[in-house]
């Protein structure tokens, strides 16, 4: 069964085999080139030395002729030295070339049979020239002048001509051998090139062409899969958009329902609070107009009894105690009536009500309770005035009872489109955000938060144990921004 893995392995094996063949042929060609270059260096060396042998033979014959010529005594030592040096080199190189002495020449010499026969024919002439030169050198070394009669110049020149002719033929054979090696290398290189091209052609037909076909089919499949994936992605995007719109609709519906429930709850709470405030107002009025008047009449009656009646000392004392008790009851009734619904709030507004509240609290408790404001005295909506008054009342109560503060500062200021109520004390403070130790105090904080929420305000509490508490209420009141009177009322 043909699988993508089998196809991949097959192409891999073919590709490796083709590359291996190309690499082998390249390495083989490089080896042959290097070997031929080495042989070429040897051939160049042999031709060079063979040419030098011709030159040295001519120099030796020339020096022999000069030494045997008359009238050359002053220059004799120079010619003799050149003859001795040239003869030594000429003889050594001749033996090295003839007998393949690579140690002398620095390269190997491979003479063919024809070259060896030429060297054999050359040997008598070489010895004749060498003998004439040695004889001249011996005479010169013994201090005897070499006479022309002692040397047959014609015979010496004849040996020289034959020697040069044979050396020319040896050089020619060396050159022919070098050329033959170059031609053979060229044929081998052409053969390797042809075989390499054949391997590359086979690689193209057996490896690359099927691979390109498979690659073309794979690319076509990938393009088809990409097109399908694009269509599916577009469908998914449409579906995702539909889901997102449905989610947004559900969230909007749920949010609207939540807002509606919150609004209904807020309305119910507002009605409840309004009912509570109306009930407080009714109770305060009844305490003031009903019970207060009755207690006042009772006090007046007791005073008349004391003025017109005759009582014993004990009776007079009891009458005085009763009068004092009734006076305290009247004062407590007035305080309860004021706390339930102070008349100054409905008559003069929030600033006056807070000023009176702080003043009475300071007088009744002996604590330092201050009030400052830049509020101009304009009336606010009834629910805002009542809500802010109750928050201030609760905050002062908590500071006195639970925080045990001896300094309380109440501020009512307007800034831009907001009215700010701040109640700050130097009490013992608490860790805000955790459950309060006193459940009543915690309930008071919840009541203040609920009341600030009912008048569309926000409440922030800053408190730490031992550092006091600061309660900040911010309520939006848009129509206050056009007021021009910002006088400060303090108490």
pLDDT-derived band of residue 266, with 50, 70 and 90 as boundaries? low
Asked if residue 477 has pLDDT above 90, the reply is no
The owner of tokens 């040897």 is: 42
In this structure, what are the phi and psi dihedrals at residue 415, rounded to the nearest 5 degrees? -140, 115
Q: How far apart are CA 65 and CA 72, in angstroms?
A: 10
List pLDDT tens digits, range 25-38: 777 777 776 766 66
**Are the C-beta atoms of 480 and 417 separated by less than 8 Å?**
yes
What integer pLDDT is reported at residue 4 of this predicted model? 60
Of 132-136, 149-153, 480-484, give the range with the top mean pLDDT: 132-136
Q: How far apart are CA 399 and CA 438, in angstroms?
A: 13
- Beta-carbon contacts of 157 under 8 Å, excluding residues fewer than 6 positions away, are 61
Half-sphere exposure of 420 (CA within 13 A, CB side): 16
Asked if residue 113 has pLDDT above 50, the reply is yes
Look at 26-30, 155-159, 366-370 and tell me which has the smallest mean pLDDT. Answer: 26-30
Query: Token pair of 388, please?
Result: 């802010």
Strand 368-373: give its sheet, edge to edge. 458-463, 469-476, 418-425, 407-415, 368-373, 489-490
Query: Token pair of 384, please?
Result: 């805002």
Q: How far apart are CA 165 and CA 159, in angstroms?
A: 10
What integer pLDDT is reported at residue 136 of this predicted model? 83
Asked if residue 40 has pLDDT above 70, the reply is no
Kindly give the interhelix angle for 313-340 and 292-308, rounded to the nearest 10 degrees: 160
Asked if residue 203 has pLDDT above 80, the reply is no
pLDDT above 70: percentage of residues in the chain: 71
List pLDDT tens digits, range 160-182: 889 888 888 888 888 888 788 88
CATH number of 348-490: 3.30.565.10
Asked if residue 488 has pLDDT above 70, the reply is no
What integer pLDDT is reported at residue 423 of this predicted model? 94
Q: How far apart are CA 119 and CA 97, in angstroms?
A: 9
**Are the C-beta atoms of 107 and 96 separated by less than 8 Å?**
no
In sequence order, what DSSP letters do the residues of 142-159 get, joined into one string?
Answer: TTPPPPGGGS-HHHHHHH
Indicate the burial class of 82 (C-beta count within 10 angstroms; 0-12, 13-18, 19 or more). Answer: middle
Region of 409 on the Ramachandran plot (φ > 0 left; ψ -120 to 50 alpha; else beta):
beta
CATH number of 4-223: 1.20.1330
Q: How far apart are CA 255 and CA 444, in angstroms?
A: 30
Domain ranges in the chain are 4-223, 348-490
Asked if residue 369 has pLDDT above 90, the reply is yes
For the chain, give me the number of helices (H) and strands (E)? 12, 6
367 to 49, 354, 391, 396, 407: CA distances (angstroms): 131, 16, 19, 11, 6
Asked if residue 465 has pLDDT above 80, the reply is yes
Asked if residue 482 has pLDDT above 70, the reply is no
Instruction: Report, in this order, helix, strand and coil percent for the chain, each rounded to 5.
Output: 75, 10, 15
Query: Token pair of 79, please?
Result: 């010619």
Instruction: For residues 392-406, give the mean pLDDT.
Output: 89
Sign of CA dihedral 213, 215, 216, 221: positive
Asked if residue 338 has pLDDT above 70, the reply is no
Instruction: For residues 445-457, give the mean pLDDT.
Output: 86
pLDDT-derived band of residue 490, with 50, 70 and 90 as boundaries? very low
Q: pLDDT: is 281 or 79 the higher one?
A: 79
């Amino acid at each position: 069964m043909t699988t993508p893995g089998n196809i991949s392995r097959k192409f891999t094996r073919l590709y490796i085999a083709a590359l291996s063949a190309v690499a082998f042929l390249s390495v083989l060609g490089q080896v042959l080139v290097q070997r031929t270059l080495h042989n070429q260096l040897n051939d160049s060396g042999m031709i060079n030395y063979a040419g030098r042998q011709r030159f040295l033979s001519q120099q030796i014959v020339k020096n022999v002729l000069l030494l045997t010529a008359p009238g050359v005594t002053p220059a004799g030592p120079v010619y003799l030295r050149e003859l001795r040096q040239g003869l030594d080199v000429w003889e050594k190189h001749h033996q090295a070339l003839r007998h393949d002495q690579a140690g002398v020449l620095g390269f190997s010499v491979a003479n063919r049979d024809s070259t060896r026969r030429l060297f054999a024919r050359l040997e008598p002439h070489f010895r004749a020239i060498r003998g004439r030169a040695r004889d001249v050198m011996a005479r010169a070394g013994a201090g005897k002048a070499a006479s022309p009669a002692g040397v047959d110049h014609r015979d010496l020149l004849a040996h020289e001509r034959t020697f040069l002719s044979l050396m020319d033929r040896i050089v020619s054979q060396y050159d022919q051998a070098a050329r033959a090696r170059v031609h053979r290398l060229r044929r081998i290189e052409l053969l390797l090139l042809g075989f390499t091209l054949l391997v590359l052609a086979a690689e193209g037909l057996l490896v690359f062409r099927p691979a390109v076909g498979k690659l073309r089919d794979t690319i076509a499949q990938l393009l088809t899969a990409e097109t399908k994936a694009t269509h599916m992605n577009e469908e998914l995007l449409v579906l995702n958009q539909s889901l997102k719109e449905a989610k947004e609709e559900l969230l909007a519906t749920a949010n609207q329902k939540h807002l509606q429930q919150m609004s209904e709850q807020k309305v119910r709470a507002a009605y409840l609070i309004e009912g509570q405030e109306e009930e407080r107002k009714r109770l305060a009025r009844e305490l003031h107009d009903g019970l207060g008047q009755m207690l006042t009449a009772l006090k007046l009656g007791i005073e008349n009894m004391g003025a017109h009646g005759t009582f014993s000392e004990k009776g007079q004392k009891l009458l005085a105690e009763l009068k004092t008790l009734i006076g305290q009851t009247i004062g407590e009734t007035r305080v309860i009536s004021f706390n339930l619904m102070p008349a100054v709030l409905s008559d003069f507004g929030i600033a006056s009500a807070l000023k009176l509240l702080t003043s009475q609290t300071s007088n009744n408790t002996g604590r330092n309770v201050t009030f400052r404001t830049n509020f101009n005295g304009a009336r606010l909506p009834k629910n805002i005035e009542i809500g802010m008054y109750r928050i201030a009342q609760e905050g002062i109560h908590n500071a006195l009872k639970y925080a045990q503060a001896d300094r309380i500062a109440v501020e009512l200021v307007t800034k831009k489109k907001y009215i700010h109520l701040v109640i700050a004390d130097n009490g013992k403070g608490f860790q805000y955000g955790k459950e309060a130790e006193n459940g009543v105090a915690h309930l008071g904080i919840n009541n203040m938060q609920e009341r600030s929420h009912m008048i569309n305000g926000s409440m922030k509490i800053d408190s730490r144990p031992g550092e006091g508490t600061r309660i900040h209420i911010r309520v939006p009141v848009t129509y206050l921004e056009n007021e021009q009177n910002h006088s400060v009322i303090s108490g």
